Amino acid sequence: MTIGLFISHGSPTILIEKENKWKDLLKDIGREIKEKYRPETIIVSSPHFVSWTGTYYVESGDKLECIQDYYGFPEETYKYCYEAYNDVELVKEIVKNSNGIVKEDNKWGLDHGAWIPLFYMFPDYKPKVVTISITENSPESHYAVGEIVRKAVEKLGRNAIFLATGSPTHRLDLFYLKIPPKPTKLDIILINAIKSGRFDDIMRIKDLYPKEYQVAMPEGDLNTLYMLLGYVKPKSAEVLGHEVPWAGVSMLASIFYG
C-alpha cells in the first residue's frame, strides 16, 4: 500500500505553545505511522521550498540541515530545530529517471514547512528524508513529478511515505482583523472531495471553484497536494483533523491510500 499525508504545518509559535491540539495530533499521526508502516524514508514537499525557474529540485547532500525561515517570531522559537539524513540513493534515482525535469541541488535543507511536522511526528524514530521543491507549474506538472518519485521508490523497493504540507486557506492579511475564525468555502469543498474520493475534482479545484479558491489563497497553490496525488494515485482517503485557529488560516490533516 502506498501512503501519503497532507498536513498543515502551522505557525512556528506551535513550538512554544504548551497546549496545542494540533501538535498533539501530529504526535498521534506520527506514532501510528511508525507502528503501522515503519517507513525507511519520508519524502517531503513543503510550500516554502519553491523553484521559480520551472525546474524541480531535490536536495542531494548527505544531511538535510534545519532552516529557520521565519522572521519576527518570539526568540524562543529559534531554539528548536530538526535535521535528518538524506536518502541520497533515492535522490539520484529520482533525478536519473526524470528526463531533466528534476535536478539535484545542495543549497536548501528542511524549512519550517518540512521540519516542524517531522519534529512532532518522528522525534525519536528518525527515517531518512528526501525534500523536493514545488514550482509555479501546473497541477498536472506537479502530479507528474509525484509519479516520477513513485517510480523511483518502487525501483529501489523503498518503504517510503509522501508528506505534503501547507494550509488550504492562507490569508495572512486577515490575521489582524477582529473577525471570528471560520472555515472558508474552499476548506469545505476540499474536505468533502477528500472524504468522497473525488480526487479528480481536487486536481481541478482551481478551475471548478475559482471564486472560492481566490478567497482562500491556498498556501503553495496546493502544489504539494497535487504532487502527493501523483505519488499515491489514491483509491481512498480520510480526514484526520481540521481546525481554523485564527481568521484567514486553516489547518488540515489527511491521509491518502493508494
Domain spans of the chain? 3-167+218-240
Sign of the four-CA dihedral 212, 215, 219, 220: positive
Average pLDDT for the chain? 95
Is residue 258 within 8 A of residue 4, CB to CB? The reply is yes
Per-residue pLDDT band for 248 (boundaries 50, 70, 90) equals confident
User: What is the tens place of the pLDDT at every residue in 175-200?
Assistant: 666 678 889 999 999 999 999 999 99
pLDDT (0 to 100) of residue 14: 84
pLDDT tens column, 78-99: 899 999 999 999 999 999 999 9
**Tens digit of each residue's pLDDT (9 = 90 or more) over 118-177:** 999 999 999 999 999 999 999 999 999 999 999 999 999 999 999 999 999 998 777 666
Classify 125 in phi/psi space as left (phi over 0), alpha (psi -120 to 50) or beta: beta
Percent residues over pLDDT 70 in the chain = 98
Query: For the chain, what is the total number of helices (H) and then of strands (E)?
Result: 9, 10
Strand pairing report for 128-131 and 41-45 = parallel
Separation of CA 125 from chain center:
19
pLDDT of residue 173: 76
* Residue ranges in 18-68 assigned as alpha helix (H): 21-37
pLDDT > 90 fraction of the chain, expressed in percent and rounded: 85
Pick the CATH number of 3-167+218-240 from 3.10.520.10, 3.40.830.10, 3.40.50.450, 1.10.20.60: 3.40.830.10
pLDDT of residue 162: 98
Asked if the model's pLDDT at residue 111 lies above 80, the reply is yes
Per residue in 57-76, pLDDT tens?
Answer: 999 999 999 999 878 788 88
Nearest CA among 173, 209, 203, 207 for reference residue 188: 209
**Rounded average pLDDT over 24-40:** 97
Residue 176 has a pLDDT of 66
Q: What is the pLDDT of residue 245?
A: 87
What residues does 131 pair with on adjacent strands? 44
Among 13-17, 36-40, 103-107, 241-245, the minimum mean pLDDT is found in 13-17
* pLDDT of res. 181: 85
Confidence (pLDDT) at 74: 83
Radius of gyration from C-alpha coordinates of the chain: 17
Grid cell locating 118: 517531522
